[in-house]
Amino acid sequence: MKTLIAAYSGVLRGTGSSILSALQDLFSISWLNRSQVEKQLQVISVLQWVLTFLVMGVSCSVILLYTFCTDCWLIAVLYFTWLVFDWNTPKKGGRRSQWVRNWAMWRYFRDYFPIQLVKTHNLLTTRNYIFGYHPHGIMGLGAFCNFSTEATEVSKKFPGIRPYLATLAGNFRMPVLREYLMSGGICPVNQDTIDYLLSKNGSGNAIIIVVGGAAESLSSMPGKNAVTLRHRKGFVKLALRHGADLVPIYSFGENEVYKQVIFEEGSWGRWVQKKFQKYIGFAPCIFHGRGLFSSDTWGLLPYPKPITTVVGEPITIPKLEHPTQQDIDLYHAMYMEALVNLFDRHKTKFGLPETEVLEVT
Average the pLDDT over 303-311 and give the result: 97
CB 240 within 8 A of CB 323: yes
Phi, psi for 298 (deg, rounded to 5): -85, 150
Residue 182 clears pLDDT 90, i.e. is over it: yes
- The percentage of the chain sitting over the pLDDT mark of 70, rounded to a whole number, equals 91
**Span 59-84, average pLDDT:** 93
Compute the distance between CA of residue 29 and CA of residue 22 in angstroms, rounded to an integer. 11
What is the average per-residue pLDDT within 205-225? 92
The average pLDDT across 118-124 equals 97
Is the alpha carbon torsion for 196, 201, 203, 204 positive or negative? Answer: negative
> How does the average pLDDT of the chain come out, rounded?
90
Residue 17 pLDDT grade (very low, low, confident, very high; cuts 50, 70, 90): low
Short-list 145, 142, 143, 165, CA closest to 153: 145
CA-atom Rg of the chain in angstroms: 24
Q: Where are the alpha helices (DSSP H) in the chain?
A: 2-13, 16-27, 34-51, 57-67, 73-85, 98-101, 104-112, 141-147, 154-157, 177-183, 191-199, 213-217, 234-242, 268-279, 325-346
**pTM exceeds 0.85, yes or no:** yes
**Distance of alpha carbon 319 from alpha carbon 337, whole angstroms:** 21
Percentage of residues of the chain with pLDDT beyond 90? 77
Does 279 score more than 60 pLDDT? yes
Q: Side by side, which strands form the sheet with 129-134?
A: 115-119, 307-311, 245-252, 129-134, 205-210, 162-167, 186-188
* SS3 (DSSP) at 252: strand
Mean pLDDT of the 6-31 span: 50
Of the ranges 65-69, 153-157, 220-224, 258-262, the best mean pLDDT one: 153-157
